[in-house]
Each structure stands twice: as C-alpha cells, then as structure tokens.
Chain A
C-alpha cells in the first residue's frame, strides 16, 4: 500500500503527472491505436514514426498548456528542474546528464547527416482522374456517365461465369484467389497488385473507371500515376470489350462490393470530387 500511496503523491505533483501523461500518450499511440480500426471492421496498420512524433508533440503542447495554466501549478512544475540544477546531493545525476545529453544530440545529428542509401520517394496517385473518353481497338468509348452495358442486357450469372474465366486465366497470379492482391506472383511486384477486397478500391470507383484501368493498364496511366512501375498490363490487345465488362462484374460479385454509380458520382463531385 505504501507504494501505491507514494505513487499517488508523485502523480499529484504536476511535473511527474506531466511525465506520466506523456508516457501514457506514447503507449496509446504506439501500441493502442492500431487496435481501433478492427473494431469497425477496417484493416489496421501501425502508425508511421513521423505521425507518431506529430501526435506526441501535440500531446506535449497540451500538457504544457495545462501545467502553465495555473500560476501555483506552474511553479511546482518547475521545482524538480530547479532542484536538479542546484541541489548538491544531485551532483552526479547532473554531471551524467551534462555528458549524456550532448552525446545523444551528437548521435542524432550524425544519423541525420551520414550518407544514407535510400530510393527516391515515389509518390503517385492511386486513383488518377480518368479521361472523359478513350479509344478502344479503334473505337471511341466515352467513359463519363458510362454504365456497364452487360448489366442492362443478359443475366448477371452468365456474365459472372465469363468474368470468372477471364479472371482466372489472366488476373489470378497477381490479384489472387481471395482478390486480396496476394496472388502467387504478387511478391514479385512493387507497387503491389491492388486488393479488391479493400474498401478503398473498387467500391469507390465506377465500373467505367475499372474498365479504363483494365483496358489501358500501367502503360496507360496519366502523368500523375507515374513512375510507370505498375506491372498492370494493358488488356486491350488481349481481352474484348465484353470480356472486360464481364470481369468487372466478377470483381464486384466475388467481393460483394457494389460499384459507384454516376448519380452518386455527381453528389460526391459536389463535395469535392473523388480521389
């Protein structure tokens, strides 16, 4: 119990409270936040270091505002620092810090300036803006407002079967059985093949966009989609128009997503367009 009481005394002191809050914030950001998205059925990933640093700085500023908000609290907050600087009993700690802190700063500076081996950052737009029309095997197809013609005529089940055949004969090695972008060839490519199971992919797109990406592939990407490293082939020479529309139906049916339609596109456009 005495330990608990001592801990409580420490936490009453604004300096140690501030330290404890900062450590707690770090633990939550580093280890806790990644568990939040799965609660809503969204795939998770650890926070990148740069974002972590931003969060921590924000937290530190908040804590500083809190401790300096009240004159008495601010005075008490500064006490341990003052003690450390002058107390004869803390001479060894003081000397140690005077040696260790400059060493740490030196090391940080060195790791910043030493020559590093890094590839140039390759920023690219995952979903670049589609052209209003494309030329497909010599025929002009207007993409804006275009819906999948197979949904109007013929049965979806037949189109699904045709699309499935197309998918397994062409797309499977990269995009995989589970349509999660993890086929048995996926590890050979960077950027990795698109995961259609991801809710940031085909559910955000119209079928005409998907048609354009399949028909024109990596080589048909506009400038913002460079640097031409995508291994996605242009399927125009291999697949017919109907086959591309059929495999589009397969992608949506197999993943259970529904495509964006042009009515929705208009609404979203009013809110600032799609990414």
Chain B
C-alpha cells in the first residue's frame, strides 16, 4: 500500500541545536540560517554545489563518513556536528594544502585583506603552513582588456566556471588537466583576451574568492569584490522559468 503522505518537513539537530528544515534544504543552508558557522570556499550561493573544497565537511552521528554540508540534505532525526576538534584539524589541513599548492604571497596580492582564503586561515587559526610549498611555475594572463587571471592565486574552486556557465550562460571558463596540473582555461585554452565567448560581464572576477581574477589596474590590497548582484540575478532567472 502506498503511504498516504510524504514527509516534507524534517527535524534535526546541528551541534545540539534543534532545527526544523524543508527536505530540500542542505545542512549548510540550515546552519547559516541558524547562525552556525561552517567554513566554505567552493560554495557559492546561486550556482550548483560540487563539494570539492572539503572545508564544509561535517560529522553525522551514525555514519563514519564525513559529508559535505553543502550537498547533504536534511533528514529526520539527523544529528550533525560541525565543529569537532577532528573537523577543525582536517579543515586546517585543507587550507595548508591550498596554500602550499600555488604561489600565494599575501603581502603583495591585490586581494590582501579581502581574500576568503586569507580570511579563513585567520579564522581557523593557521599560523604557518605545515607542508612544504610546491612552488609551481604558473602564468599570468593579462590579455583581457578589463581583467587579469593570475594562476598563482587560483585555488580551483571553479566558482568562475559555474557562474559563467549557469548565470551568464557563456561558459567561457572550464578546467583542463588532471590532479595538481589542473588549470582554469578560457575557451579552447587560449588567452582570455582572445576568447570570443567572453561577454566581459566580470561575474567571474567578482565571485573569485582570492586574487586569481581581478580588475586591471588594481594594486596591492585594492581589489574588493562585489557580490550583491548574485542573488538578484538568481531570482530573475528563477522567475523567468
């Protein structure tokens, strides 16, 4: 026999706090709505989540696996822990790995003081990076008339890729290569300035969490990012559907 109704509202606890949720809400959304901080880097409100940065991993009672809060949906009776010592250790290690992967020199970066990576390092208490730096040889693409892409500062969160594809609809950006050799590329791996699909809207620049994408002419610490447009565009798109 079919169950006559479907539960659409769930009750669960996050760090001991009882919260009510719709079944289509993620742990991350619930935590944010209830003032519980979960660090994120690849998550961007308005585009689909990929669970790649692993900063938002949370513990869920009854499973030994850590799950990304941005892609885990509320379930009845779930007991979520977001701030254990174990999680903090792993999150710090993730940041360690990100700092070591490319050439982040905060002191001379356009985004110094406005960078999400830098901010998270402070927030999570990173006083030094525990693994050796890799110092890869990376290029700066300044071929675009308005913007610059500095691979040295890219953390491969792919926010630019998703915002360009899902909000702007241009799909100028994508990722090529494997593993640590992955690079964000424009069109067919050509200089950004020659990428015909680029509409110069600059959304990628505004959503980039670090100084990897920035406006031309900005000096150290001058690049602040403006994100207010995102939820608005998202609403417009949903309204049109």
**Same assembly:** no
Interface residues of B (CB under 8 A from A): none
Interface residues of A (CB under 8 A from B): none
